[in-house]
Amino acid sequence: MNLRTASCVAAVAAITSVLQVNANPGVIYNDAIGDIDPGITTGGGTLDLVSMEVSHTATDIQFKLTVNGNIGTTDWGKFMVGIANNKGYGTSSSDGWARPITMSANGGMTNWFGSWVDSGGGAENRSNQTSWGVTGATYNGNFGNFAFAAGAQSTITYGVSIASIGMSIGDTFSFDAYSSGGGSGDSAIDALANPNVAITSWGQAYDSGTSTSLSYTLTAIPAPGAIALVGLAGLVARRRKA
């Protein structure tokens, strides 16, 4: 291999490496398995949260929740995500579905993804400005992608624009994910950020406080074109020297 060929190979490898690093593979947040009170049904394991992967592009964010059971055989569980973006309009006294779930971390809850997997499934992106309301048009219409996949461990995926949850690149927010029953008064049977039993009865109040919530930063993602140009400039310089 001559010097020029070697330089080309090295430059291409460097560009590929940088692109992969900046592709934002996401952050995985794990929960303890089996952390549901023995007196509360787990819905065949579906209410037992396993993990959540959070990732983003320059404009959109995705939350992918994994649960420890087959949602295809359970038709009443609900799955939710609470977000506190610390923009001055959060509430620490309620959630988007008026369940006994609150978030006192980071200025209070500002956004709520409430979803269900029965009857074809659906989801709502709710925000709290002066009161809770659906963000955008109608349910499901404000999710760029909402999907679920049944299996031994099932997944529920929420995708929205970063702007729809009141944030922009550079912001850090707190969040938590919850499983719950089909009743409107059911609380957080399992909470992602809490490795211990969350509640001991269906209607017991649950709060995601500072010590029992997670955080994520919307880091800047360089444009692939800009990265490639920098790499190519280095390649040209090396070839000239050769």
Q: Which two tokens stand for residue 154?
A: 């099932």
Mean per-residue pLDDT, 16-36: 73
C-alpha span between 100 and 134 (Å, rounded): 19
Contacts of 142 (CB under 8 A, 6+ apart): 124, 125, 134, 135, 136, 160, 164
Scanning the structure block, which residue is given the tokens 């959060």? 90
Q: How far apart are CA 96 and CA 94, in angstroms?
A: 7
Distance CA 98, CA 134 (A): 13
Report the pLDDT value the prediction gives residue 136, as an integer from 0 to 100. Answer: 57
With a cut of 60, say whether residue 223 has pLDDT above it.
yes
Predicted pLDDT of residue 229: 45
Supply the pLDDT for residue 222: 79
Q: List, for residues 143-177, the tens digit of each pLDDT value.
A: 668 899 999 999 999 998 899 899 999 999 999 99
Q: How confident is the model at residue 241 (pLDDT cuts 50, 70, 90)?
A: low
Domain ranges of the chain: 1-22+222-242, 31-219
- pLDDT at residue number 144: 61
Give mean pLDDT, residues 178-207: 97
Residue 230 has pLDDT above 50, yes or no: no
pLDDT at 195 over 90: yes
**Calculated CA dihedral for residues 133, 136, 139, 140, nearest 10 degrees:** -140
What is the structure's pLDDT at 13? 45
pLDDT digits (tens, 9 = 90+) for 101-134: 999 999 999 999 999 998 888 898 899 988 998 8
How many CA atoms lie less than 13 Å away from 134 in the CB half-sphere?
12
- pTM metric for this prediction: 0.82
3-state secondary structure of 178: strand
Q: What's the pLDDT score for residue 11?
A: 44
172-180 and 154-161 as β-strands: parallel, antiparallel, unpaired? unpaired
